[in-house]
Structure 1
Amino acid sequence: MNYEEVMKLALERGFYFPSCEVYSDANAGFWEYGPSGVSLKNKFLELWRRELIRRDGMMEIDGSQIMSKSVFEASGHLGNFADPIIKCTKCNSTFRADRTIAEIANIEIPESADLIEFDNAIKENKIQCPKCKGDFSSTKKFNMMFKVGIGPQEEEAYLRPETCQSIFVDFPRLFKTMRGKLPLGIAQVGKSFRNEIAPRQSLLRLREFYQAEIEVFCNPGRLDDVEKFAEIEKTVIRVQTDGDPISMTCKEALESGTVPNKFVAYYLGILTEFYEKTGIDVSKSRFRKLGDKEKAFYAEVAFDFEVETTIGWLELVACNYRSDYDLSSHAKMSKEKFEVMDNDEKVLPHVFEISMGIDRSLYTILEHSLKNDEEHERMVLSLKPYLSPVHVGILSLVKKDGLKEKTDEIFLNIKRKYDAFLDHSGAIGRRYRRLDEIGAPFAITVDHQTLEDNTVTIRKRDSMEQSRVEISKIDSILFDSVGFP
């Protein structure tokens, strides 16, 4: 399915929609999750916790969204967190330089490139304003931080542009109080804020967005001392360096030098295993190794986990080996000690980061799961059952003859254990179609035979297969099907 069809589904079935849409002055880049979207997002995050956090014995924190100016001076965001922009001298419209050049001249220039490269490309290709055909001024940098004033004195502070900085500044306390031991993973889920120049395409580029970030603190001298590597050495990952993506096991990626060490290979492996369980087609994924001009300013080695969609490759996760950039910077700014003991060795840990965009991940899951069943004239959201916003629809064939009361009784008995939807209204076929579109893997229909023998019809979403089952067996059927793998 394409972007437009996913957008239609999102709006009509309560997955997500624009913020403040009833007002004409609503700002772009802000979207809200409806009931279906919240349910999908929460289950996605529970799978993330199960497959990454609990699997690896990590810690999870919940940090503040507003942080002091000193944090972002130390992190480098106030000096480096900027996008290249160009402004029309005629109509004063502002554009991202790299995207405008790519869209008009089909030339890819990394956003971190020197400003003169953008100016030269605009001049050589005679690129003009797409709105009025005016000329552009020289390329400048635009810092994307959201500044806020604290208290009546309006002390300078900022909304966080990423969730990881609180992990870094909290590291000494967490390592001490939680009896930490390297390697130590610390995770956080929450909102980040970036003043994007041109937010677009709903969840794909937002000014307020969800991240699930993991920072793994490690001893830089022990990056190949990873016993857990055996768990994923046969896991297949797709890596792109220069040419097309190549499928290889994590062990092959390590031995060929495609990834630098067992430590990085291990986390690329478990990340691939996680996304396979979300229902994303991992045969359409790649870990793209970034060049020097593409990497973030803090990264020594960087891989972007990208997935192919109908609107191109989307970056879902940034995997960055940040070395000791963050801890050494905060130690210098704060004058606090960030070194820890690893056995008998005193070290300043290095950091490997797995920074996941939740919103983009959810969009990709929806696109890869939405199918047009032309034979049966229906749209089907074939989500993994454990991610479905609704696990089961409970339907009465008609509302009379005691069927409504029996249906209500069944719903009451299972609604505390599963996400169930009660529906008495409309033709049964249309009710099935609505459940198919929201991704419910099962529909249970109560009919006149139910009153005679305590059986119901259970319908499977993908195959449309229907069978009679005893009411007493509903719980075990749902338990076996919608639990996490």
Structure 2
Amino acid sequence: MNYESVMKLALERAFYFPSCEVYGDAQAGFWEYGPTGVSVKNKFLELWRRELVRRDRMLEIDGSQIMSKSVFEASGHLGNFADPIIKCKKCGLTFRADKLISEIANVEIPESADLEDFDKMIQEKNIVCTKCKGEFESAKKFNMMFRVGIGPEDEEAYLRPETCQSIFVDFPRLFKTMRGKLPLGIAQVGKSFRNEIAPRQSLLRLREFYQAEIEVFCNPGKLNELDKFSEIENTTLRIQISDDIQVMTCKEAVEKGVIPNKFVAYYLGLLTEFYKKTGIDMEKSRFRKLGEKEKAFYADVAFDFEVNTTIGWLELVACNYRSDYDLSSHAKKSKEKFEVMDNDEKVLPHVFEISMGIDRSLYTILEHSLKEDKENERMVLSIKPYLAPTHVGVLSLVKKDGLSEKTDEIYRLIRTKFDSFLDHSGAIGRRYRRLDEIGAPFAITVDHQTKEDNTVTIRRRDDMAQERVNISELESILAKETAYP
């Protein structure tokens, strides 16, 4: 399915929709999750916790969304967290320079390139304002931080542009109180805020968005001393090398020098195993190593996990080896100590980051799962059962003859254990198709035979197969079919 089909589903079935859409002055780049979207998001995060956080015995925190100016002075965001913009001399319209050049001239320039590179390309390609055909002023940097004033004195603070900074400033306390031992992963889920110049395409570029970030603190002298590497050494990675995607195991990638060490390869392997279980088509995925001008200002080595969609390759996860950039910066600014003991060695840890965009991941899952079944004239969201917003629909064949009451009874039996939807109205075929479209893997139908032998029909979404089961079996069947892997 394409982007337009996913948007239609999202709006009509309450997955997500624009914020404040009833008002004409609503700003772009803010979207809200409806009930179906919230259900998928929560299940996605539970899978993330199972496959990454708990598997690797990480700690999870929940930090503040507003942080002091000092945090972002130390992190470098106040000085470096900026996008290139150009402003029309005639009408005053502002554009993000790298995106406009890509769209008009089909030339890719990294957003971190020198400002002169943007000016030169605009002149060479004769790029003008798309609204009035006017010329542009010289490119300049626009800081994307949202400033807030605290208290009556309007003390300067900022909405966080990434969730990881609270992990870094909290690290000394967490390591001490949780009896930490390197390597130590600390995770956080929450909202981040970036004043994007031109937010677009719903969940794909937002000003307020969800991240699931993991920062793994390690001893830089032991990056190839990792016993648990054996758990994923045979996991296959799809790695972009030059113009080709090469498939190799984690072990092969380290031996060939494609990935610098076992430590980085281990976490790329974990990430791959996680995304395999989301239902994303992994044949359309790749790890792309970023060049010097593409990397974030804090990264020594960076890989982006990207997935191909109908609107191009989307970056879902940024994987950055941040070395000691963050801890040393905060130690210098705060005058606090960030070194810890690793056995008998005192060390300032290095950090490997797995920064996941939740919204983009959910969009990609929807696009890769949405199918058109022309033969049966239906749209089917073939999402993994454990991620489905509704596990099961409970339907009465007709509302009369006591079937409605029996259906209500079955619904009450399972509603606290599974995400269930009760539906009495309309033709049964239309009700099945509504459930198919929101991804419900099962439908239970109560009919006249139910009153005779206490059995119901359970219908499967993907192949529409139906079987007769006893009501007493429903809980065990649904539990098995909707369990996380």
Query: Which digits, 9 at most, give the CA deviation of each residue in 1:352-382, with x for residues without a partner?
Result: 0000000000000000000000110100000
Given residue 299 of structure 2, which amino acid in structure 1 is its aligned partner?
Answer: A
Query: Which digits, 9 at most, give the CA deviation of each residue in 1:449-469, with x for residues without a partner?
Result: 000000101100000001111
Aligned mates of 1:252, 1:85 — CA distance in 2: 42
Aligned mates of 2:344, 2:457 — CA distance in 1: 65
2:460 is equivalent to residue 470 of structure 1 = no
Hey, what does 1:60 align to over in structure 2? Answer: 60
Aligned mates of 2:263, 2:269 — CA distance in 1: 10
Query: Which digits, 9 at most, give the CA deviation of each residue in 1:260-280, with x for residues without a partner?
Result: 000000000010000010000
1:112 alignment partner, SS class: coil
Hey, what does 2:367 align to over in structure 1? Answer: 367
Aligned mates of 1:23, 1:208 — CA distance in 2: 18
Hey, what does 1:238 align to over in structure 2? Answer: 238
Aligned mates of 1:133, 1:144 — CA distance in 2: 27
Hey, what does 2:18 align to over in structure 1? Answer: 18
Aligned mates of 2:463, 2:426 — CA distance in 1: 22
- Following superposition, the deviation at residue 413 of structure 1 comes to 0.5
2:314 is equivalent to residue 314 of structure 1 = yes
Give 1:19-418 correspondences, 5 Å limit. Answer: 19-418=19-418
Hey, what does 1:444 align to over in structure 2? Answer: 444
- Following superposition, the deviation at residue 243 of structure 1 comes to 1.6
- Following superposition, the deviation at residue 396 of structure 1 comes to 0.2
Normalising by structure 1, we get a TM-score of 1.00
Aligned mates of 1:243, 1:255 — CA distance in 2: 21
Aligned mates of 2:228, 2:439 — CA distance in 1: 35
2:52 alignment partner, SS class: helix
Query: Which digits, 9 at most, give the CA deviation of each residue in 1:75-107, with x for residues without a partner?
Result: 000000000000000110000000100110111
Query: Which digits, 9 at most, give the CA deviation of each residue in 1:295-317, with x for residues without a partner?
Result: 00000000000000000000000
Aligned mates of 1:193, 1:384 — CA distance in 2: 30
Hey, what does 2:430 align to over in structure 1? Answer: 430
Aligned mates of 2:377, 2:235 — CA distance in 1: 38
Query: Which digits, 9 at most, give the CA deviation of each residue in 1:411-444, with x for residues without a partner?
Result: 0000000000000000000000000000000000
Given residue 14 of structure 1, which amino acid in structure 2 is its aligned partner?
Answer: A
Hey, what does 1:8 align to over in structure 2? Answer: 8
Runs of 4+ in 1 over 3 A off after TM superposition: none
Aligned mates of 1:368, 1:353 — CA distance in 2: 26
Which runs of 5 or more structure 1 residues have no equivalent in the other structure? Answer: none
Normalising by structure 2, we get a TM-score of 1.00
Aligned mates of 1:143, 1:18 — CA distance in 2: 25
Aligned mates of 2:310, 2:40 — CA distance in 1: 21
- Following superposition, the deviation at residue 245 of structure 1 comes to 1.2
- Following superposition, the deviation at residue 242 of structure 1 comes to 1.4
- Following superposition, the deviation at residue 197 of structure 1 comes to 0.1
Given residue 267 of structure 1, which amino acid in structure 2 is its aligned partner?
Answer: Y
Aligned mates of 1:102, 1:191 — CA distance in 2: 29
Aligned mates of 2:428, 2:217 — CA distance in 1: 55
Hey, what does 2:454 align to over in structure 1? Answer: 454
1:233 alignment partner, SS class: coil
Given residue 372 of structure 1, which amino acid in structure 2 is its aligned partner?
Answer: E
Which runs of 5 or more structure 2 residues have no equivalent in the other structure? Answer: none
Identity %: 82
- Following superposition, the deviation at residue 320 of structure 1 comes to 0.1
Given residue 118 of structure 2, which amino acid in structure 1 is its aligned partner?
Answer: F
Aligned mates of 1:132, 1:375 — CA distance in 2: 48
Query: Which digits, 9 at most, give the CA deviation of each residue in 1:112-132, with x for residues without a partner?
Result: 000000000000111111111
Aligned mates of 2:105, 2:30 — CA distance in 1: 29
1:180 alignment partner, SS class: coil
Given residue 205 of structure 2, which amino acid in structure 1 is its aligned partner?
Answer: R
2:206 alignment partner, SS class: coil
Aligned mates of 1:241, 1:335 — CA distance in 2: 42
Given residue 411 of structure 1, which amino acid in structure 2 is its aligned partner?
Answer: Y
Given residue 45 of structure 1, which amino acid in structure 2 is its aligned partner?
Answer: L
- Following superposition, the deviation at residue 390 of structure 1 comes to 0.2
- Following superposition, the deviation at residue 219 of structure 1 comes to 0.0
Aligned mates of 2:131, 2:477 — CA distance in 1: 58
- Following superposition, the deviation at residue 241 of structure 1 comes to 2.9
Aligned mates of 1:245, 1:212 — CA distance in 2: 26
1:89 alignment partner, SS class: coil
1:24 alignment partner, SS class: coil
Aligned mates of 1:156, 1:296 — CA distance in 2: 25
Given residue 403 of structure 1, which amino acid in structure 2 is its aligned partner?
Answer: L
Please identify, of 50-59 and 235-244, the stretch whose mean Cα deviation from structure 2 is larger. 235-244
- Following superposition, the deviation at residue 244 of structure 1 comes to 1.6
Aligned mates of 2:429, 2:244 — CA distance in 1: 45
